[in-house]
Structure 1
Amino acid sequence: MNNLLSDKRIVISGAARGLGLSFATACAHQGAEVVMLDILEDDVKAQADLLKKQGLKAVSAQIDLASSSSITASVEKLIAQNNQVDGLINCGALATGVGGKNMMDYDEDLWDRVMQINVKGSWLLSKALVPYLKASGSGKIVNIASDTALWGAPNLMAYTASKGAIIAMTRSMARELGESNICVNCIAPGLTIVEATAYVPQQRHDQYVQGRALNRKQYPEDIDGTAVYLLSDLSSFVTGQNIPVNGGFVFN
C-alpha cells in the first residue's frame, strides 16, 4: 500500500542518520510531511533537503534531548510553522560508546547521560507534543526501544536499562493517553546495521545472526514497515504494545 500516511505530519527525533533517517524517509514516501529533529543540525537539514529534492515533504530543526529548554524551543519552532502533529517517533538516543564495560566498571556520569537522553528526553518531547496529538483526534506515538532489554544484553547495562524504561513508559503513556484517542506503542529492534552500531564487536553481530530464526543481518528498512503501520490508521486499536522486530532473535 502507498500513501498510508497521506496528509499526516510526523515528528521524528534522531532523524539525521540511522534508524531515524530511515523512518523519516519511509514516512515521507507514504505521503507524510516529516519533521526531522536531531542534535546534528547541518546533517539533519541536509537530509531533509534531499527528501524535498525528491518531491517529498520534509522540514528539519535542531534538538538536544538532554536539554529541556532545547526541546521546548524545537517544538515551538515546528508549531510556529504548522501546529498539526499526527504522530511522533521517539528515536533519538545515545547508543555509540555506551557499551563494553560490566556493571562494576560502568561510569556514573555516562549512566546518567544515557538515562537523560534516552528516557527523559523521550518523555519530555512526548509531553511537549501531546496537546497537538490530542487535537489531531487520533495521535500516534511510537517509542523505539531495543531487544537488548528483552534478553539482558551484557556489558551494555545503561543502554539496556534505558530501553527497558522506554518499554515500561510506553505502557503507562498508553493508559494515560488512551482517553484522548492517542495510541502509544513501542518497537524493539535487534542489532541493526547503522552508524551507531559500527563499534559493536563482531562477536555480538555474529551472535545475533546465528541466533535469529531468520539468519541474516538486520537493516533499518526491516523496521520501517512496522513504524509506518503503527503511525497509520491501520493500527487505530493497537496501543500499549511492544513489538520486537529482530528476525526472531527474541520472541515476545
Structure 2
Amino acid sequence: MRDALKGRRVLVTGGARGLGAAFVTALAKQGARVAFGDVLHAEGEALARSLREAGHDAHFIALDLADPSSIEACVAASVQTLGGIDGLINNAAITNSGGKSAEELTPATWDAVMNVNVRGAWLMSVACLPHLAKSGRGSIVNIASDTALWGAPKLLAYVASKGAVIAMTRSLAREFGGRNVTVNAIAPGLTEVEATAYVPAERHEYYLKGRALTRAQVPDDVNGPVLFLLSDAARFVTGQLLPVNGGFAMN
C-alpha cells in the first residue's frame, strides 16, 4: 500500500486529535495532500504546522459540524487549498451522553449528538459529492463505532447516532454509486486516544477480555483499513461495514 495514496487529496473531519489526527498523520506520511477540519483550532493548527515542518502537505481548516454554513465553508476552503477532493473521512463526532441512562438523557443532548454525528456527516458528504464525482475516484469513509453492533449501555445517543451512520453509509453508497463514488464505514472498537480517557477502567477491561485479540486497541490498528478504503485497491468495494475491534464484535 506504500505510495498508494500519493498525491491523493483527502478531507478529514475531526482531525485535530485522537483517531482523526492519526488518520491525518498516516495520510500525510503516505504522500497524500490533506485538509482537516475541527472545532479545536489550537490543536489543529499545531498538528498542521508539525506535519508541514516534517515536509508533508497538511492544512487545518476551522469546522463546526453543528453549523451547516461552516461545513460549506470548510469544503470550499479545502477545494481551494487542495485543488479538489478525492477522499473524505467523516470522523468527527461527539459523545455527550456517556454515563447517562436512557431515562437521564435529555432531548437537548440527543439533538446535539445527532446534529454533529449524523446530520454533519450527511451534509459534509453532500457538500463534497460534486468534487468527489469530478475526481473520478472519489471515496467516502464514515467512522462509525462497534458500540452500535453490540449495544453499549449508558451511551444511547452516541450508539444510536453511529447506528444511523452505518445505515446512512449503505443508502449513500447506492445514491452515489452512479457517480463512481464509493461509500463505506469503519466501526472501531474502544481505542486508546484522548477522547476515550473518560471511559471507566472497567469498560476498558471489558473490551480487553472480550476481544479475540486480547490487547488494547491503538490508532494504528484503524489506519490501515481506512487507507485501504480510500485507495484504488478498494474501487469495487462500497456500502460495506468493516468492524475493526480485534474481534470483540463480529459482523
State the TM-score, normalized to the length of structure 1. 0.98
Aligned to 2:220: 221
Aligned to 1:91: 91
* Aligned residue pair count: 251
The one-letter code of the counterpart of 2:86 is D
Aligned to 1:109: 108
Shift of 1:206: 0.4
Distance (Å, rounded) in 2 between the aligned partners of 1:100 and 1:211: 20
Aligned to 1:30: 30
Distance (Å, rounded) in 2 between the aligned partners of 1:220 and 1:204: 18
Aligned to 1:232: 231
The one-letter code of the counterpart of 2:47 is Q
Shift of 1:40: 1.0
Shift of 1:138: 1.1
State the TM-score, normalized to the length of structure 2. 0.98
The alignment yields a C-alpha RMSD, in angstroms, of 0.9
The one-letter code of the counterpart of 1:78 is S
Shift of 1:80: 2.5
Q: Give the SS at the match of 1:35.
A: strand
What 5-or-longer segments of structure 2 have no aligned partner? Answer: none
Distance (Å, rounded) in 1 between the aligned partners of 2:236 and 2:81: 30
Aligned to 1:149: 148
Query: Aligned residues: percent identity?
Result: 53
Q: Give the SS at the match of 1:85.
A: coil
The 5-angstrom pairing of residues 54-65 of structure 1 reads 54-65=54-65
Deviations along 1:15-40, one digit per CA (max 9) or x if unpaired, are 00000000011111111001011111
The 5-angstrom pairing of residues 40-55 of structure 1 reads 40-55=40-55
The one-letter code of the counterpart of 1:183 is T
Distance (Å, rounded) in 2 between the aligned partners of 1:31 and 1:197: 29
What 5-or-longer segments of structure 1 have no aligned partner? Answer: none
Deviations along 1:34-57, one digit per CA (max 9) or x if unpaired, are 101111122111101111111111
Shift of 1:79: 2.1
Aligned to 1:179: 178
Aligned to 1:66: 66
Shift of 1:81: 2.6
Distance (Å, rounded) in 2 between the aligned partners of 1:58 and 1:82: 10
Shift of 1:104: 1.1
Q: Is the 8 A contact 1:3 1:29 kept in 2?
A: no
Deviations along 1:120-146, one digit per CA (max 9) or x if unpaired, are 001111111100000001100000000
Matched, 1:190 2:189: yes
Matched, 1:8 2:8: yes
Aligned to 2:123: 124
Q: Give the SS at the match of 2:103.
A: coil
